[in-house]
């Protein structure tokens, strides 16, 4: 039995495995293949390596690693006493992998020595490529401990897809990114916030260092937070909504409801009623079906109307004095009202595209705001606007940042237009495969690692990152809104 000789077998095998060299070869100077002994291996996918030979040193990043087993020898033991003779093959295990070259002269090389890069080496390389554009410090490299990682602010002139399963830390990390954009750049931001997660974005956290806190307080005046029940009310005016949106809100189909649709059209042609009351009054003489529809749907009782006192959010959209507008959709009474505001805001930004004023449009919980299968006509319109902005908005300075835990439920034509990816923990293989298919610039092997990310960990790739990097997000400056329900009920009695 081999079991009787296990220690000897192991000793033989390790003496062979110890002789495996840690070397790498590149035929094109851009990618490399490596082999290394398994013992003490410290080259995880996403990690950094130094490749050295007589021609110099290059920094590389390992993208994938696997175990390879090869038959190396045959061994045998004589039988003794009752024990039979034993023969066995020794299989030796080698780590093999692939990676990309991050720095160096771009020349091919053969059998360069490879070792893990030190955090200092990685940091020095990052500093070299920092350039002149604003850097947004968002956290640190997970595989080069202590090395800060910053986004390239210029990368936000592309659309960004931000995803991860529920509780992976998306909204928190999104907050970290938005705070840095507000602190370090002049980009205007509009946030569609279905969960009221940014309702306290103007309040600084107690633990923040004083210089940063002071900078945040100076910014806070330019943060306009609109809530259904807040001092600055989240509201719109009927006359600002286009014909299509009004018809969608009234659930009017141009063919099935041709009488009422024609009545709405002629009302809008004649006088553009400023309020629903005015619209109902205008239809009174004929006890119109349209008036009944408005009443029966309860639209005239929605809290989202500006009425006499409210200042419409559409009027102040893009106001140069406002750096960031938070639209707290979660504070509205119904899904229809939230969808109406989303559709109106996206439609208005698109209509004003000719102004070419750069704005980052953040859509959190995008699977509800612009889903692949919209449940109603208003959401379908919001989705259509988002798709158009995704396809054509960039040249007008309309940049999307789309955040979700359900990538398969977001309209595909929005995701596929994204050139930046921030991927947090995602346990679902099918969600990951979907993201990988739509965003092929993200290295597949690193993408697969997202199943084991911890809270606050992410893969970032695209124009906003110097290279596809595994990072850990840092701390927020402003208070979180909403928040999860406290799990006090779980403590023992």
Ligand X SMILES: Nc1ncnc2c1ncn2[C@@H]1O[C@H](COP(=O)(O)OP(=O)(O)OP(=O)(O)O)[C@@H](O)[C@H]1O
The interface partner of residue 167, options being ligand X, Mg ion, none and the CB cut-off 5 to 8 Å by kind, is: ligand X
Of the candidate spans 133-141, 167-175, 222-230, 250-258, the one that interacts with Mg ion by CB under 5 A turns out to be: 167-175
For ligand X, the binding residues (CB under 6 A) are 164, 166-172, 405, 455-456, 473, 480, 484
Contact 185, 153 (CB under 8 A): yes
Taking the complex as a whole, how short is the minimal distance between the CB of residue 472 and ligand X, in angstroms? 7
Q: How many CB atoms lie within 10 A of CB 135?
A: 19
Of 171 and 246, CB closest to Mg ion: 171
In the complex, the smallest distance separating the C-beta of residue 171 from ligand X, rounded to whole angstroms, is 3
The answer to whether 171 contacts Mg ion (rule: CB under 5 A) is yes
Q: Which stretch binds Mg ion (CB under 5 A): 107-115, 170-178, 303-311, 350-358?
A: 170-178
Comparing CB distances to ligand X, the nearer of 61 and 168 is: 168
* Residue ranges in 223-376 assigned as alpha helix (H): 243-249, 258-270, 276-283, 289-297, 313-316, 335-351, 366-369
Of 195 and 244, which has the nearer Cβ to Mg ion?
A: 195
Q: How far is the CB of 93 from ligand X (least distance, A)?
A: 36
CA angle 371, 377, 381 (to 5 degrees): 65
Q: Nearer Cβ to ligand X, position 98 or 479?
A: 479
CB of 47 to ligand X, least distance (A): 21
Q: Choosing among ligand X, Mg ion, none, which partner's interface includes residue 456 (Cβ < 5 to 8 Å by kind)?
A: ligand X
Q: Which residue is nearest to Mg ion (CB)?
A: 171
Smallest separation (angstroms) from ligand X to the CB of 427: 12
Among 488, 490, 458, 482, residue whose Cα is nearest residue 149: 458
Largest separation between any pair of C-alpha atoms in the chain = 113
CB of 368 vs Mg ion, minimal distance in Å = 11
By CB under 5 A, which span of 11-19, 163-171, 378-386, 411-419 interacts with Mg ion?
A: 163-171
Residue 491 binds which of ligand X, Mg ion, none (CB < 5-8 A, kind-dependent): none
Beta-strand pair 457-462/223-227: unpaired
Q: Which is nearer to ligand X, 78 or 207 (CB)?
A: 207
Cβ of 261: how many Cβ atoms within 10 Å?
Answer: 18
232, 224 Cβ separation under 8 angstroms: yes
Nearer to ligand X, 53 or 480 (CB): 480
Question: In the complex with Mg ion, which residue's Cβ is closer, 170 or 425?
Answer: 170
- Cα torsion 273, 279, 281, 283: sign: positive
Based on CB atoms, which residue is closest to Mg ion, 61 or 173? 173
* Contact of 97 with 34, CB cutoff 8 Å: yes
Among ligand X, Mg ion, none, the one that 246 touches (CB under a kind-dependent 5 to 8 A) is none
Determine the size of the site formed for Mg ion (CB under 5 A): 2
Q: Tell me the closest approach of the beta carbon of residue 54 to ligand X, in angstroms.
A: 44
- For the bound state, the minimum distance from the C-beta of residue 301 to ligand X, rounded and expressed in Å, comes to 30
Asked if 29 and 79 count as a contact pair (C-beta separation under 8 A), the reply is no
Within its chain, how far is the Cα of 304 from the centroid? 29
How many residues in the chain? 493
Beta-bridge mates of residue 226:
327
- CA 104 to chain centroid: 31
- H/E stretch holding 152 reads strand 148-152
3-class DSSP string for 294-336: HHHHCHHHCCCECCCCCCCHHHHCCCCCCCEEEEEHHHCCCHH
Pick what 100 binds: ligand X, Mg ion, none; C-beta below 5 to 8 Å, kind-dependent.
none
Residue nearer to ligand X on the CB measure, 168 or 383: 168
Binding site for Mg ion (CB under 5 A): 170-171
């Amino acid at each position: 039995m081999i079991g009787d000789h296990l220690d000897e077998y192991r000793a033989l095998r390790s003496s062979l495995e110890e002789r495996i060299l840690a070397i790498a070869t590149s035929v094109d100077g851009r990618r490399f293949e490596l082999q290394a002994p398994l013992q003490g291996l410290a080259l995880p996918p996403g990690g950094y390596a130094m490749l050295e030979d007589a021609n110099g040193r290059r920094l590389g990043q390992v993208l994938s690693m696997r175990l390879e087993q090869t038959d190396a020898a045959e061994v045998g033991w004589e039988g003794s006493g009752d024990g039979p003779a034993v023969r066995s093959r020794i299989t030796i295990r080698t780590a093999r992998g692939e990676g990309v070259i991050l720095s160096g002269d771009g020349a091919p090389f053969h059998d360069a020595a490879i070792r893990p890069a030190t955090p200092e080496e990685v940091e020095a390389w990052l500093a070299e490529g920092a350039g002149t554009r604003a850097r947004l410090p968002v956290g640190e490299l997970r595989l080069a401990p202590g090395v800060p990682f910053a986004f390239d602010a210029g990368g936000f002139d592309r659309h960004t897809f931000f995803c991860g399963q529920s509780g992976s830390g998306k909204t928190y990390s999104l907050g970290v990114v938005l705070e840095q954009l507000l602190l370090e750049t002049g980009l205007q931001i509009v946030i569609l916030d279905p969960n009221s997660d940014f309702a306290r974005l103007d309040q600084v956290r107690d633990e923040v260092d004083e210089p940063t806190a002071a900078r945040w307080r100076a910014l806070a005046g330019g943060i306009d937070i609109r809530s259904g029940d807040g001092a600055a009310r989240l509201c719109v005016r009927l006359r600002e909504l286009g014909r299509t949106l009004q018809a969608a809100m009234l659930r009017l189909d141009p063919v099935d409801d041709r009488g009422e649709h024609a009545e709405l059209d002629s009302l809008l042609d004649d006088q553009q009623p400023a309020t629903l009351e005015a619209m109902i009054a205008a239809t009174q003489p004929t006890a119109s079906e349209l008036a009944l529809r408005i009443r029966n749907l309860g639209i005239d009782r929605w809290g989202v109307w500006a009425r006499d006192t409210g200042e419409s959010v559409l009027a102040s959209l893009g106001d140069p004095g406002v750096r960031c507008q938070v639209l707290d959709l979660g504070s509205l009474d119904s899904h229809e009202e939230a969808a109406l505001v989303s559709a109106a805001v996206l439609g208005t930004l698109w209509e004003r595209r000719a102004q070419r004023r750069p704005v980052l449009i953040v859509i959190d919980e995008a699977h509800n705001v612009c889903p692949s299968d919209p449940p109603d006509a208003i959401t379908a319109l919001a989705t259509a606007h988002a798709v158009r902005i995704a396809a054509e908005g960039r040249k007008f300075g309309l940049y999307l940042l789309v955040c979700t835990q359900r990538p398969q439920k977001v309209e595909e034509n929005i995701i596929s237009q994204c050139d930046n990816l921030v991927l947090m923990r995602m346990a679902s293989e099918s969600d990951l495969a979907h993201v990988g298919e739509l965003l092929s610039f993200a290295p597949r092997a690193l993408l697969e690692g997202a199943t084991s990310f911890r809270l606050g960990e992410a893969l970032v790739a695209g124009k906003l990152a110097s290279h596809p990097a595994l990072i850990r997000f840092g701390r927020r400056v402003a208070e979180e809104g909403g928040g999860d329900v406290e799990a006090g009920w779980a403590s023992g009695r």
